Amino acid sequence: QVQLAESGGGSVQAGGSLRLSCTASGFTDSSVFMAWFRQVPGKEREGVAAIDRDGRTKYADSVKGRFTISKDNVKNVLYLQMNNLEPEDAAMYYCAASSGIVPIMTLLEPDFDYWGQGTQVTVSS
């Protein structure tokens, strides 16, 4: 059974940094995509960044140059380094993994079939 557990959320001032972590377990196939999504109340879940097994990455335009996704394949941990945070980045952040629903890496919610419980990020101006 695949399980994802996020940590690292918290409260920071605008311009600050946070690093989110997602510990993954239960994968039997390494050919998955993993990603970070975020959601604020009343809005749809938004793809932030994704990474494939070879380390190729994809970012939402709103976070390019500020956020970095990475993973430790030995420890099975996914990271999201968030720098120069803005109030608009405040949201619940979710770790997600795809078992290969689609053959290409996307930032679309329907393409990911495993989800963590989320970790809250608050950014004050």
100 pLDDT band, cuts 50/70/90, is: confident
Structure tokens at 64: 């390019």
For range 85-102, the mean pLDDT: 94
> What pLDDT was estimated at residue 103?
87
By mean pLDDT, which of 13-22, 27-36, 77-86 is the weakest?
A: 27-36
Please check the confidence at residue 31 and state whether its pLDDT lies above 70: no
Q: How far apart, in Å, are the Cα atoms of 37 and each of 5, 28, 116? A: 14, 23, 10
